[in-house]
Structure 1
């Protein structure tokens, strides 16, 4: 197996390896897992495994989960089909910087995503290293956000375009989750900036130290949250990947965010994702 580092902060491309072999090869899987912790997102080309092997490989990291809104493959629970074409151009779920399923109490640990049909041009995906984003924050900002917690909502994102009754039912099924603004990676110990497009507001900002006369003290909770969320957009923290059919991305959802560009109409982009159950952020 050959490993090519793609940027100084995030991403590596693996070649000379077949992920189907890692389903049964403990040593190969351990090496891939170690590389994932080191590089945060891994890319592979020309992977011709079956859906059964896709699911089996992802399950080596842990149990898989379905998505309550995005459709899954009926024969392979945990394999979410993200098929986009001209009829889905109004679905704005991917072209925002986000960390998958932070609206859950236990967001995904990571994912294995394969392109089963890619456009000739466009539809790239980007990932951002949110550990690096935290590390480079000014020290006074780190001190300010250290105790903060924030809410993450599926209702305000996936539910926003639904009729009210369906949106409220979705919220009842998945109440807003609350997470620390800075989480600690459970395996590496790295501190990670943990707010994204699913984050709606801080839950413990409005204290006498931060508020005067009922108004947020400058820069204010809303401005602070927007500033923190904007860190994923810094190019120095990012890697960009151009999809080709049978390309694969594996990422650590605990320390990254990603963005899928929707600039490929009228072509299609068909992706299949196996999302891995994660832990409660702390």
Structure 2
């Protein structure tokens, strides 16, 4: 199959009668809605999957509506990208390991937040390659998700900032995020199981070669900032280092790098976790929102 896109202006083609995927870009920098495609078929068709993956590398997040497929087919599609990983805090479907249930209902505390710009599981030594997320149930209004192109965020940084962060590394913590609301003993046990991971502040995408700004809500501090080149006096390091980190983390909130998706039941998002961040908008409680996510094991960032 071949995708159809209007080459002249970058606007989506009206489609064709050749059976090809219709690709409708949603913004200039990130996101495309796919039509005339079955994700169940993509899970078993090599050519169709190859086309889907190529579109993912290009648009960074893909959206598809009206996919009434089984959990097994959902898992089969995600496994085409690689092995699936479980989550140590969120629950999984007992019959489909790696299919994480993200269910927000009347039993979920109103203060249980999820609205922070983040790249999934960067507290792992090898963060996920990507995810395949399905909407099971969503509020009539609200509960959207925002994705951010962090390669574009890096590209648009001032040159002096790029020079300043070249070679910097940072720590990412599950203890300081998911563990923060746990009793001390449980939190420390979580840290023992998942020690803080260290990643480059600027990551090189292993397939596209793009440079990606790789700090997010899981990032706690730089690990190699306190050098004579950066620190003359104490305040250069603290709060100087944290102010620089906060500036970098805030880049995810720039609208020009974003796409926002309105969920409907049986709609899917497939995203490249190596080059994006996302933000689940928490504006719907006490309405019900139920999602199921298959996360794909990734590579070490080095």
C-alpha distance in 2, partners of 1:87/1:227? 36
Match of 1:172 in 2: 192
Match of 2:232 in 1: 212
Matches within 5 A, 1:52-63: 52-63=72-83
TM-score by length of 1: 0.98
Say whether residues 1:197 and 2:221 are aligned partners.
no
C-alpha distance in 2, partners of 1:211/1:54? 50
Match of 1:99 in 2: 119
Say whether residues 1:39 and 2:68 are aligned partners.
no
Say whether residues 1:223 and 2:230 are aligned partners.
no
C-alpha distance in 2, partners of 1:55/1:28? 17
Post-superposition offset of 1:120? 0.2
5+ long unaligned stretches in structure 1: none
Query: Alpha-carbon deviations, 1:44-95, whole Å to 9, x = none?
Result: 0000110000001100000000000000001100000000123322222x20
C-alpha distance in 2, partners of 1:65/1:18? 24
Matches within 5 A, 1:132-281: 132-216=152-236, 220-281=240-301
C-alpha distance in 2, partners of 1:75/1:125? 27
C-alpha distance in 2, partners of 1:86/1:239? 28
Tell me the secondary structure at the aligned position of residue 178 of structure 2: coil
- 2:42/2:77 contact within 8 Å kept: yes
**Structure 2 vs 1, CA of residues 160 and 217 (structure 1 numbering), >3 Å: closer, same or farther?**
closer
Quick one: which of 11, 20, 31 aligns to 1:11? 31
**Structure 2 vs 1, CA of residues 219 and 161 (structure 1 numbering), >3 Å: closer, same or farther?**
closer
TM-score by length of 2: 0.91
C-alpha distance in 1, partners of 2:35/2:139? 22
Post-superposition offset of 1:266? 1.8
Post-superposition offset of 1:219? 7.6
Tell me the secondary structure at the aligned position of residue 21 of structure 1: helix
**Structure 2 vs 1, CA of residues 218 and 198 (structure 1 numbering), >3 Å: closer, same or farther?**
closer
C-alpha distance in 2, partners of 1:266/1:101? 27
C-alpha distance in 2, partners of 1:243/1:103? 27
Query: Alpha-carbon deviations, 1:168-199, whole Å to 9, x = none?
Result: 00000000000000000000000000000000
C-alpha distance in 2, partners of 1:219/1:30? 47
Tell me the secondary structure at the aligned position of residue 60 of structure 1: helix
- 2:225/2:237 contact within 8 Å kept: no
C-alpha distance in 2, partners of 1:198/1:87? 26
C-alpha distance in 2, partners of 1:111/1:75? 19
Match of 2:149 in 1: 129
C-alpha distance in 2, partners of 1:218/1:171? 25
**Structure showing greater relative contact order (alpha-carbon pairs closer than 8 Å, 6 or more residues apart):** 1
Superposed structure 1 runs of 4+ greater than 4 Å apart = none
Tell me the secondary structure at the aligned position of residue 132 of structure 1: helix
C-alpha distance in 2, partners of 1:150/1:240? 28
C-alpha distance in 2, partners of 1:14/1:209? 48
Quick one: which of 91, 102, 106 aligns to 1:71? 91
